Amino acid sequence: MTPGSNGARPAAASPHVIALDAMGGDRAPGVVVEGAVDAARAHGLTVLLVGPRATIEAELARHNTTGINLEIVETDEVIAMNEQPARALRQKPRASLKLAIDLAAEGRAAAAYSAGNSGAVMAAALFAMRRLPGIERPAFGSPVPNSNGLTFLIDMGANAECKPVYLLQFAAMGVAYMRLAFGHDNPTVGLLSNGEEEEKGTPLVKDAHRLLKASGLNFAGNIEGKDVFAGTVDVAVADGFSGNVLLKAAEGTRAMIEDALRSELERSLRTRLGALLAMPAFRAMRRRFDPEEYGGAPVLGVNGVVLKGHGRSGPKAIRNGLRLAHDLAENGLIGAISREVERLTVNLESGAET
């Protein structure tokens, strides 16, 4: 069977079988294998560990693996974090990242997870799984912690250039994802712009605004970068360029504040003692804004379930990511996305008639 050609669904694996790029991420393979062991034990998953057998076995030897289901899928090819994606995939057809995604595309796993090279994950998913029917461009979504919980940002960087209809479809995919992954009933959608007023923004944003207004989605209008963190909306829609700028700006700001706070607290005995007493609050903060809790960023709009973990993922992020991959497969992510985008088309068409 040709994997995913013409958007045909591959034979489905049990949702308990997840393919994992054992070599993906800044701290691979150590923390990745550790996370896989934890996930297999805690959630009863079967994890297909893709990578060099000897390396993986050496890591497995550090853990108790009795009674859990882990299989190694052997390959020696690995794509580094900063390689140019298209070239890397051409030169390394058996790269661990690619093989893991191929396993999901072929129905030998229900989903794939990698904390490796984002561009290569997107390209490999698109190549092996193809777009879902009716989807113009797949996108990367990302849960972003905010003051009340989280906002789902889509696109976070796959499509630097967008057309208005892409943004509309990103919105529908984000809504389907928020419902499925986080149990939101009727998620609100905001369109990222440089001001809340309807007349603000680039021509892309203005046109997307009109489409979203007519879409039947729960559209709350334009939002500014700060609204994502205030939790004004559930789904924030952006082209991949500004979505990426937004995420990286938040990451940079958090790092800057943490560094500055640490150095200011070090300055005197008094503030060092204060820091010691305040430690539970600092720990709670870290948990609250820890991207590791949220399991990773889904590739949405392809005919398969693929999750991308943060490059700096630790074992907890890997474990949560594998569990989320299972949940998404079990709860029918692909069908949910397809239905939401179909409904959109119908709404737009009936909107055009009136």
Binding site for its own copies (CB under 8 A): 82, 84, 146-147, 157, 160-161, 192-195, 197, 199-203, 205, 224-230, 238, 240-242, 244-257, 259-261, 264-265, 267-268, 270-271, 273-282, 284-285, 288-289
| Residue partners of 280: CB distance under 8 A and separation at least 6 | none
Token output for 75: 């390959």
Alpha helices in 266-331 (DSSP H): 269-288, 315-330
**Does the N-terminal peptide bond of residue 155 adopt cis geometry, omega within 30 degrees of 0?**
yes
CA angle, 6 then 9 then 13, to 5°: 150
Buried b (16+ CB within 10 A) or exposed e, 64-87: eeeebebebbebebbbeeebebee
**Cα(4)–Cα(304) distance, integer angstroms:** 8
**Does the N-terminal peptide bond of residue 10 adopt cis geometry, omega within 30 degrees of 0?**
no
> How many whole angstroms from its chain centre is CA 293?
12
Nearest to 116 by CA among 46, 21, 30, 189: 21
CB 170 to its own copies: min, Å: 15
Nearer to its own copies, 86 or 346 (CB): 86
Nearer to its own copies, 26 or 161 (CB): 161
CA angle, 328 then 33 then 255, to 5°: 80
